[in-house]
Amino acid sequence: MSRTPILILPCETRVREFDAKLLLACHAVERGWRVFVGYKRSLDFHAPQIPPGIYVGKSLTYRNARFYGIVRDLGHRLTAWDEEGLVYANPDLYRLTKIGDATLNMPQLLLAWGEENAAAISAHPGFAGPDLAITGNPRSDLLRPELRGYFSEEADKLRDEYGDFLLINTNFSRLNHFFDQQNRQQRLLRDGGAVVTTAEDPRVGLAAHKAVLFEHFQRLVPELARHFPDLPIVVRPHPSENSEIWHRIASDFANVQVVHRGNIVAWLQAARVTLHNGCTTAVESFLLDRPAIAYRPVVSELFDFDLPNSLSLPAHNCDSLLAAVDRILAGNRGELDALLACRRSKVRQHIASVDGPMACERILDALEPVAEAPAPAVSLAQRSAARMHSRARRAVRTALGLIPLSKQHPQYRAHIFPEVEPCEVNKAVARFGALLGRFDGIRIRHVAESAFELSPTGSIRK
């Protein structure tokens, strides 16, 4: 590695990841790192031009293995965490769907959300013992009291625009994907999808459970709209969902809107109450001390996502849900405050950085020994082959962008990662600095589409 350590932080979904990884970048620059942060596609295309550094992958599925091999052969040190490693139905299903056998042992360091995530990873039958650090995730840092003001201005604008509103977060992207051919759970239910399955395959069971919940949520929106005719209702689909079905339902009601923009934290801060089933936003609501209700018209011990549901007020039918919303709108927080008090220790098992040092600090503490260790030997032939493979990969993905139904198509890319302008990054870094009283002397350079280099200008703590 170069004398100045380099960190590469790719982000797949802007509203989920970018602000948090930008915060991590600020912490790293303060310690003297150069950081490349932004849209994963752009940084991956740019990887051959970045001096050897530490690449932090954002997932461990089998699909990552080929590019992770390119990353290593370019001379970068590969580390990774799983953005989706916080919320899942059960550890066995998590390992089956989110961890690829070939990918798991490729990083030299794995970073876990908390003890539960670390245990789920290390219990994988193919786990061969890469270093595993329990650090938390920068997304949880944005929910801490010292940083809640980061989204205050945006939350205020949402209140001005929507008033006192009820927020419904949906997470049916594998049944109702932005592109129909990406509806993996629909294919599983129809014909087994692209893999050989049996009726007992847990992926089929999960798909069937989600399909029933999807139907219930479609019926729930009209019930809420009719029961609360004067209450604005905002449906916020998962970033990868097709919002058409929700727009169709909303068109019958003046008080229902479907919106997908901005970081979810601002929406959670602005909403009077959030409704969901098994959604990460319930964990975020809990850490923000905001009310969330888990609508659970059907219950499955195997396929329900326990953590977010357990951190929410329960409602097992429409009547109980309406009653719970009524209590919250009336200002009755007794039930919520009791839940917040008794579930805090459970959250600490899942998120290491709920209190104490921030996840950003813990992550950098874990990465610094990797940066200081001797670099693994990579031959000139390996680097040359990796550059060739990287160029070929870029050419293929660029060509796929011409296909309307491809995930590489500009329409989908603009949906999943709206372009980030340099002025937005400057404002975000300034907001972080004002809230925390630090991060002076950060130079920001635009290097590719929605991708930036952050580096020290001199007034940085060593």
Range of weakest confidence among 319-323, 376-380, 451-455: 376-380
d(CA 167, CA 196): 38
Segment 182-205 shows an average pLDDT of 65
Is residue 138 a contact partner of residue 21, using CB atoms and an 8 Å limit?
Answer: yes
Whole-Å CA distances, 94 to 11, 68, 121, 232, 301: 21, 21, 9, 36, 15
Residues 6+ apart with CB under 8 A from 406: 179, 400, 412
- Rounded to 10 degrees, the C-alpha dihedral 430/436/437/441 comes to -50
pLDDT of amino acid 242: 82
If DSSP states are collapsed to H, E and C, what string results for 225-252?
HHHCCCCCEEEECCCCECCHHHHHHHCC
Range of weakest confidence among 3-12, 138-147, 191-200, 355-364: 191-200
**Does domain 148-350 fall into CATH 1.10.760.10?**
no
Please identify, in words, the CATH class of the domain defined by 6-137+354-456. alpha beta
Q: What is the pTM of this model?
A: 0.92
d(CA 121, CA 103): 12
pLDDT of amino acid 1: 40
pLDDT at 6 over 50: yes
pLDDT at 169 over 90: yes
**312-363, pLDDT tens digit by residue?**
999 999 999 999 999 999 988 888 888 888 888 899 999 999 999 999 999 9
CA 438 from chain centre, in angstroms, equals 26
Domain with CATH 3.40.50.2000 in the chain: 148-350
d(CA 254, CA 232): 9
pLDDT band at 421 (very low <50, low <70, confident <90, very high): very high
Angle at 125 between CA 210 and CA 10, to 5 degrees: 65
Segment 415-434 shows an average pLDDT of 94
Range of weakest confidence among 118-132, 315-329, 448-462: 448-462
Cα-trace Rg, the chain:
22
pLDDT at 174 over 90: no
pLDDT band at 72 (very low <50, low <70, confident <90, very high): very high
What six digits make up the tokens of 208?
């069937």
Residue type at position 223: E
Intra-chain end-to-end CA distance of the chain, in Å: 18
